Structure 1
Amino acid sequence: MPITIATWNINSVRLRAELVARFLAEESPDVLCLQETKSPVDKIPFEIFAELGYTHAVARGQKGYNGVAVFSRLPIEDAGSIDWCGKGDARHVAARLPGGVLLHNLYIPAGGDEADPAVNPKFAHKLDFLDELARWGEGLRDPAILVGDLNIAPLEDDVWSHKQLLKVVSHTPIEVERLARAQGEGGWTDVTRAHIPAPEKLYSWWSYRARDWEAADRGRRLDHIWSRGDVPAVPGSSRILRDWRGAEKPSDHVPVMASFDI
């Protein structure tokens, strides 16, 4: 059964509930994974999405920051969450899809501005998180899908300027190496890049700081869809929906989508 999954760092689900609703109405994914919902679970506007047919949901939340949620038109089961680095952050939730495949919705820390773990605790946290992700991946045995804002643009063609961003958090060699290790240990395939190979430039995030984000086009591919095991992706189905960055009151991220034959 083909299932289309979308992932989107929404940067406040309550602030952008109408934007999410419009996306669901226009794009109709079977499953939508949101990150940075910035809301306690009991204040997420589930009813807005349920009216559009997304009557199944699992979520983890915090007041004002972090937060992950999965909304589905298909029945899903809450498959738990992991407290990465023992900080109590709402950065992960898992849902069991029809057919039994686990879907992991993940929000990796951004890491602050200084790419030095000795002076920047946020960057040290990010590296620790990636190390835990790699160790977790070693033990995986079953087919799974992992989506989310991984806050790293791993390839040279995932950023607007490889040379200028080598010392900028999200594209530093140490982050890229740690993410590659986590991907390798878990046996994950980068579905979007499997469908849209380099050297085509791909971005899913553009800073709010740019006066004209579209003209400057200084983007990074921070949002990812991975799969492992026998979870066949529908060939060529992955898309990055750039136009949503131009919506009214947008997130600085845009949705990424792919379909799987589960």
Structure 2
Amino acid sequence: MSFTLATWNINSVRLREDLVLKLLSEQAPDVLCLQECKSPVEKIPTAGFEALGYTHMVARGQKGYNGVAILSKIPMVEAGAEDFASLGHARHIAGRLENGVTIHNHYVPAGGDIADRDVNEKFGQKLDYLTDMRDAFRTSAPKRAILVGDLNIAPREDDVWDHKKLLKVVSHTPIEVEHFNDVMTAGDWHDVTRADIPAGRLYSWWSYRAKDWDAADKGRRLDHIWATGDIKDAAHSSRVLRDARGWEKPSDHAPVFATFDL
């Protein structure tokens, strides 16, 4: 079975329902993983998605904050949800496709503005979330699995617009990158996007603060698609749909795609 998957921090699925429908209509991924849905599950506007063939959904939601959902054309059942770092946030949902592949959809905490857990509780929560992810994968090694989402870390020097300037900025600090890499190692996860696009600057997020985000191009690659070692070679055709950042009233994230032949 071949299927294309996309991941996108939508920054409110109800506010940007039209953008989700545009993506589903024009790009037609088989599976779409959304983060920061900012909606209780029962208020996610599913009718339009179902009309386009996305009749399967697993989700965790909460009013106004966080929230994750997986929409699929392919039959899918829920495969669990974890509350890493015991935050009580809707930040993870897993779905299992009919071919046995499990998709984990994560929205890792952003971590606030100060990269010091002693003065910034949010930064500590981010590190604790990643530590819990690492420990969970050490305890139960994932197989035939894909992990996607807004992981809120740009790990490589060419995942940010200026490595030296951002070394002390949350999302690119050495301690975050270390935690990020520890999670990857613990689960035998492999970066699908960079396997396909191994060199060059690559971003999936551009701040709303920029007057002209496209011209300034001060981006970061915060959104990721990983695969476990047993299926990593089945992945191909990775891309970032940069144009979506320029749609009307956009999310500050662009969708990231990959195709799997499994």
TM-score tier after normalising by the smaller chain length:
over 0.9
Tell me by how many angstroms 1:230 deviates: 2.2
Report the Cα distance in structure 1 between the residues aligned to 2:149 and 2:99, rounded to whole angstroms.
21
1:204-252 C-alpha deviation (Å, 9 max, x unpaired): 0000000000000000000000000322455541111101000000000
Q: Evaluate the alpha carbon distance shift between residue 105 and residue 235 of structure 1 in structure 2; reply closer, same or farther with a 3 A threshold.
A: closer
Tell me by how many angstroms 1:86 deviates: 1.3
Question: For the Cα contact (< 8 Å) 2:102–2:146, is it kept in 1?
Answer: yes
1:146-166 C-alpha deviation (Å, 9 max, x unpaired): 000000000000000000000
Aligned equivalent of 1:75? 75
Report the Cα distance in structure 1 between the residues aligned to 2:3 and 2:76, rounded to whole angstroms.
12
Corresponding residue SS for 1:42: helix
Q: Return the letter of the residue paired with 1:59.
A: A
Tell me by how many angstroms 1:85 deviates: 1.2
Report the Cα distance in structure 2 between the residues aligned to 1:255 and 1:74, rounded to whole angstroms.
19
Corresponding residue SS for 1:50: helix
Corresponding residue SS for 1:238: strand
Question: For the Cα contact (< 8 Å) 1:11–1:38, is it kept in 2?
Answer: yes
Q: Evaluate the alpha carbon distance shift between residue 233 and residue 248 of structure 1 in structure 2; reply closer, same or farther with a 3 A threshold.
A: farther
Report the Cα distance in structure 2 between the residues aligned to 1:189 and 1:246, rounded to whole angstroms.
29
Q: Evaluate the alpha carbon distance shift between residue 173 and residue 232 of structure 1 in structure 2; reply closer, same or farther with a 3 A threshold.
A: closer
Aligned equivalent of 1:100? 100
For 1:102-251, list aligned pairs within 5 A: 102-138=102-138, 139-198=140-199, 200-234=200-234, 236-251=236-251
Report the Cα distance in structure 1 between the residues aligned to 2:69 and 2:20, rounded to whole angstroms.
12
Report the Cα distance in structure 2 between the residues aligned to 1:39 and 1:160, rounded to whole angstroms.
32
Report the Cα distance in structure 1 between the residues aligned to 2:114 and 2:206, rounded to whole angstroms.
19
Corresponding residue SS for 1:122: helix
Q: Evaluate the alpha carbon distance shift between residue 194 and residue 253 of structure 1 in structure 2; reply closer, same or farther with a 3 A threshold.
A: same
Report the Cα distance in structure 2 between the residues aligned to 1:212 and 1:222, rounded to whole angstroms.
20
Report the Cα distance in structure 1 between the residues aligned to 2:50 and 2:235, rounded to whole angstroms.
30
Aligned equivalent of 1:255? 255
Report the Cα distance in structure 2 between the residues aligned to 1:48 and 1:233, rounded to whole angstroms.
34
1:160-207 C-alpha deviation (Å, 9 max, x unpaired): 000000000000000001100111111000000000002x10000000
Question: For the Cα contact (< 8 Å) 2:190–2:229, is it kept in 1?
Answer: no
| Count of matched residue pairs | 261
TM-score norm. by structure 2 comes to 0.98
Corresponding residue SS for 2:248: coil
Aligned equivalent of 2:25? 25
Give percent identity, aligned residues only. Answer: 64
Q: Return the letter of the residue paired with 1:147.
A: V
Aligned equivalent of 1:16? 16
TM-score norm. by structure 1 comes to 0.98
Report the Cα distance in structure 1 between the residues aligned to 2:235 and 2:144, rounded to whole angstroms.
18
Question: For the Cα contact (< 8 Å) 2:192–2:235, is it kept in 1?
Answer: no
Report the Cα distance in structure 2 between the residues aligned to 1:113 and 1:141, rounded to whole angstroms.
32
Report the Cα distance in structure 1 between the residues aligned to 2:116 and 2:33, rounded to whole angstroms.
31
Aligned equivalent of 2:44? 44
Q: Return the letter of the residue paired with 2:134.
A: A
Tell me by how many angstroms 1:98 deviates: 1.8
Tell me by how many angstroms 1:35 deviates: 0.1
